[in-house]
Structure 1
């Protein structure tokens, strides 16, 4: 079994790369793929870059080149729910592209053309395994719910409320649903794991770099726990 792990930023995958053994690397389309083992399990790790296009290119290449059985997208996100605090974890049961909008043609907001669905589902057996891995992380609340993705850094209450009202999402980020979209097309299991780095309303602007470090550490710890369990 090969587990693919994608992070958008270096801080989201740096510790995972340092943990790898028997590591080799290959650059394809300006993205470097690191293949090796973590806790004796076969993995391929990549930094996609920020945004949906980078994430989609990275995911499709990883599937074609390395044939992973599961792709996990790890990283940070902005909370859309008051119950989520900094560094709390969200595990996706669905992902949605909140900036997908063909409503001018009479479609529901978020409908993905060609798939004819709004929310892309995550396999229940994958959710269960990731949830178990999260349960070993101390002093951290874990939630399961919809993760919203768009090519926007959400930093206003107005946009935050728009996403919550239309998609009932717990958090927002910029890659997860693109990864889920590609995996869905390829019939590959996936899951998005996000640790909260901010409140997505601009309130944590000055502390964001510090919060990202804390949040990234939490999501990385979850990945380690998951790989140990395999």
Structure 2
């Protein structure tokens, strides 16, 4: 059975999975903290990639040069946009990831990479600029599992940013531009690299905060990362049945 790779930006977003799977430290790949565990006969490789797109892309590239997984899972927390139907403690499952910063600022406003005409990736005759689709089947199974577990989860587009949105105004701008459920700092890179290596990618994030004027008293990162990891653990437990 091919392994599954699970990556997260921080140790906090991965530590529950490491403990639950009895994962042991493995050889560092790409300079990143890496663990290997199992769910039954399914090997699971876990990596603390680091915050941001570059860290995620380099860590995942190193992993995909070392392993041939059946699935890459990107897990962590995210900020939900007003109107997404999500609240702190809910789960979001990505149908697509969008680079929210890459583009051109013109006198008429921001434009995506299509304006330049150079794709971020061209694969099998398809040119990808800002948006990268995630594998449909794992996401659908995740939605079904959430329903069976009576967990509030929504599937939709995510946006990946380099600068977290700390104002309601910025959140409204991104919501109008991309119609996303939530924002994060790594997901588009994980989707991009997975597509480059032709590996299915699933992204699940717990909602830690709303995208609004920044107020840390309204955040709950521990709850968000715990819920996301517990869900991924259940997903892995049923993965061999899929």
Normalised TM-score (structure 2): 0.86
Does structure 1 residue 98 correspond to structure 2 residue 95? Answer: no
* DSSP 3-state at the match of 1:10: coil
Q: In the aligned structure 1, how far is the partner of 2:21 from the partner of 2:132?
A: 31
Query: Which of 200, 223, 228 is residue 232 of structure 2 equivalent to?
Result: 223
What corresponds to 1:162 in structure 2? 173
Q: Where does residue 51 of structure 2 map in the other structure?
A: 50
Q: Mark the CA change 1:123 to 1:204 in structure 2 (over 3 Å): closer, same or farther.
A: same
> Which whole-Å CA distance do the structure 2 matches of 1:31 and 1:22 have between them?
15
Q: 195-204 or 7-16: which moved more?
A: 195-204
Distance 2:121 2:232 in 1: 32
Q: Distance in 2 between matches of 1:81 and 1:40?
A: 41
SS of residue matched to 1:224: helix
Max radius of gyration: which structure?
2
- Counterpart contact for 1:21–1:38, Cα < 8 Å: no
Deviations 1:74-115 (CA, angstroms, capped at 9, x unpaired): 1100001332110111100010010111355x9942545344
- The answer for unaligned runs of 5 or more in structure 1 is none
Alignment match, 1:126: 138
Q: Please state whether the residue corresponding to 1:197 is helix, strand or coil.
A: strand
CA contact (8 A) 1:147 1:172 kept: yes
Contact 2:29 2:63 in 1 (8 A): no
How far off its partner does 1:17 sit? 0.7
The CA distance in 1 between the partners of 2:167 and 2:228, in whole Å, is: 25
Contact 2:32 2:48 survives alignment (8 Å):
yes
Q: Work out whether 1:6 is the aligned partner of 2:7.
A: yes
TM-score (norm. length: structure 1):
0.90
CA contact (8 A) 1:98 1:148 kept: yes
Tell me how far apart the structure 2 counterparts of residues 202 and 224 of structure 1 sit (CA, whole Å): 33
How many positions carry a matched residue from both structures? 226
Question: Which deviates further from its counterpart, 25-34 or 72-81?
Answer: 25-34
| Residue 14 (structure 1) shift | 0.3
Q: Judge conservation of contact 1:137–1:222 (CA < 8 Å) in 2.
A: no
Within the candidate set 64, 87, 90, 2:89 is matched to: 87
- Aligned counterparts of 1:20 and 1:157: Cα–Cα separation in 2: 39
Q: Which has the higher helix share?
A: 1
Aligned alpha-carbon RMSD (Å)? 2.0
